[in-house]
Structure 1
Amino acid sequence: MKTVAHMLRAKPNQDIYTIAPTATVLQALQLMAEKNIGALIVTEGDQVVGILSERDYARKMVLKGRSSVGTPVSAVMSAPVISVTPEQTSRDCLRLMGRGHLRHLPVIDNGRLLGMLSVGNLVKEALAEQDELIQQLEQYIRG
């Protein structure tokens, strides 16, 4: 089973996109659209203070009739942040995501933000692990 550190290294785009809690939701949406991502990590200095996802926007902005222009990210971000460490496994991540109904997991090591994994990253990894196991079993059967 692969670790979070391995999965981060294997990601084609290893950029980390963050936004300040004082930025507007509109600014966050513009950044997410520009980078084609579904969530931003909210940071104050080097500290992770929240996460803002498309789901947060839909549930806390659109359904409540708020304006993206004047609403700060801090008003709708999810906090505290559920995160993983580089040593954890893909299975650990999938369990956390399943329990918390999460689509994104920041990777934090000793207070330092290293990256983020999405449910898509984890599904891709799970499929690769299954393919590898199938190949090993086929080789074993063939002798």
Structure 2
Amino acid sequence: MTTLAVLALVVAVVALVVAAVAVLRLRAVQRNVEVLWGGSDPHDVTTVLRGEHDRITALDHRVTALGGRVDAVGDHVAAGLRHVSVVRYDAFGDMGGRLSFSAAILDDSGDGLVISSIHARGESRTYAKGVIDGRSEITLSPEERQALAAARKDSRNA
């Protein structure tokens, strides 16, 4: 009989230890659930799911709005004069230092201008010629054509 009583006592102690461990693990799981569900009622799954759905919907609207803004910025960037090429040269044989230059400044569609500055001993002259779709109505010098071609090449590589 004493052996049976000792055995029953051991089983009871083991059951008590198992129950204590189970309670501690349950509390840890409950804390994790509260953190995961943001402190809302852990028994109301519908509320949690509705809240997550609303949050995802709001994020979707924000991403859509940001996509529209990115598209608008892309249009502004394409219209910006960002393709530049400069050709330096000696306009006159008796002058050195390549002080004259032609610069082409274009947007992505090839619109912009070519600016040339011709430096001579006593004076310097500056000219600007409009460019539409990579062409100018005014005849371009070889240096201006070279600058324009380099800027157009840059716009095609962008």
Structure 1-normalised TM-score? Answer: 0.27
Higher relative contact order (CA 8 A, sep 6+): 1
* Larger of the two Rg values belongs to structure: 2
Structure 2-normalised TM-score? Answer: 0.25
Greater helix share, structure number: 2
